[in-house]
């Protein structure tokens, strides 16, 4: 009996370790940055050879296993398209990202109930407690990837809100200097590559669309659809109206930059107003009890000694 319990503990530990490793490999933001940076240098210097990156060596067997696991899950075309759109909003354009995401979600959902049921069968855990804990952990595992993805989308929108005014200012300078809008996008993208790499990467995609035959209006419309950010949609509208009616683009871009800076300032003021409410909970739970013990503790001790006498 002891050997069976010992074997089950090792199996449960292995399942949990594999789940954590796959989730960490998928959720690692540094790996995505490294891959995008290496792909950028490969594209710039014409190195089209197939590579084995550090991330690929670290998770060589995991993506295939996760992909097979995701293929077993029921899905619809609308659901897959919605997930792909959410991944695009987060800046994840890998074609296998949706299957990997679903596989990680399946692992995080299946592993806790499996461990709980095995514990109830082999380790004589309480059946009620095992089922409750397994269901709660499975629900958390199902929700965690979606919450993480929403957080990444929100952070990406924040970075776009910070970088768009600088992009518009440089774009105005280049347009007033006589450059075409295509050359302006290329020059501004190169200038912003260090300060705002996220926006520079999106501008490189816009430039690639233009080089492949799309108009500037279509390229910016696709950029707005990928990012799903209101500032980019407004910029796409300005570019479309300028291309269609021949209106002055620089003045519209200047007004748009001022509006984005005003929105950024209002967002900072909103966060400052929320800080007072946010800090209230840790103050009540952590700081106030300690102060209460320090101030009231000696009086309580003196009262107990007085009543004891």
> In tens digits, what is the pLDDT along the chain, a chain of 309 residues?
455 555 556 666 666 776 676 666 655 555 556 666 666 656 555 544 444 344 433 344 444 555 555 554 555 555 677 888 899 899 888 888 888 888 888 888 888 888 888 887 777 778 888 888 889 989 998 999 999 999 999 999 999 988 999 999 999 999 988 888 889 999 999 999 999 999 999 999 999 999 888 888 899 999 999 998 998 999 899 888 887 877 778 888 898 899 989 988 888 898 888 888 888 888 888 888 888 888 888 888 888 888 877
Exposed / middle / buried, residue 153 (Cβ in 10 Å: 0-12, 13-18, 19+): buried
Q: CB count, 10 Å around CB of 243?
A: 16
**Nearest partner of 38 among 56, 61, 25, judged by Cα:** 56
| CB contact set of 215 (below 8 Å; sequence gap of 6+) | 243
The pLDDT value given to residue 61: 41
Q: Which two tokens stand for residue 306?
A: 């007085």
Nearest to 19 by CA among 144, 127, 119: 144
pLDDT of residue 153: 93
Residue-range domain boundaries for the chain: 2-153, 158-274
Neighbour count for residue 212 (Cβ, 10 Å): 8
DSSP H helical ranges for 90-126: 97-122
Q: Looking up tokens 């929100």, which residue turns up?
A: 154
> HEC states along 137-196?
HHHHHHHHHHHHHHHHHHHHHHHHHHHHHHHHHHHHHHHHCCCCHHHHHHHHHHHCCCCC
In this prediction, residue 47 carries a pLDDT of: 44
């Amino acid at each position: 009996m002891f050997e069976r319990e010992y074997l089950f503990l090792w199996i449960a530990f292995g399942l949990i370790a594999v789940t954590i490793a796959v989730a960490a490999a998928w959720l690692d933001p540094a790996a995505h940055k490294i891959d995008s940076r290496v792909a950028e240098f490969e594209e710039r210097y014409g190195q089209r050879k197939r590579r084995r990156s550090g991330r690929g060596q670290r998770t060589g067997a995991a993506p295939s296993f996760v992909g097979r696991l995701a293929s077993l899950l029921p899905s619809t075309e609308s659901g897959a398209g919605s997930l792909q759109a959410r991944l695009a909003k987060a800046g994840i354009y890998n074609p296998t990202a949706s299957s990997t995401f679903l596989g990680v979600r399946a692992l995080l959902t299946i592993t806790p109930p499996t461990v709980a049921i095995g514990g109830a069968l082999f380790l004589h855990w309480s059946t009620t407690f095992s089922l409750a804990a397994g269901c709660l952990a499975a629900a958390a595992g199902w929700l965690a990837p979606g919450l993480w993805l929403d957080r990444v989308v929100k952070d990406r929108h924040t970075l776009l809100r910070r970088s768009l005014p600088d992009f518009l200012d440089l774009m105005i300078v280049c347009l007033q200097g006589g450059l075409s809008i295509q050359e302006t996008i290329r020059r501004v993208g190169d200038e912003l590559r260090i300060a705002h790499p996220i926006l520079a990467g999106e501008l490189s995609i816009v430039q690639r669309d233009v080089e492949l035959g799309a108009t500037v209006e279509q390229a910016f419309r696709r950029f707005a659809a990928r990012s799903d950010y209101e500032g980019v949609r407004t910029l796409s509208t300005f570019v479309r109206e300028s291309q269609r009616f021949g209106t002055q683009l620089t003045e519209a871009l200047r007004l748009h930059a001022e509006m984005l800076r005003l929105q950024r300032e209002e967002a900072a003021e909103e966060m400052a107003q929320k800080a007072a409410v946010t800090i209230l909970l840790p103050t009540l739970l952590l700081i106030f009890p300690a102060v209460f013990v320090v101030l009231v503790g000696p009086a309580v001790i003196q009262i107990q000694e007085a009543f004891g006498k």
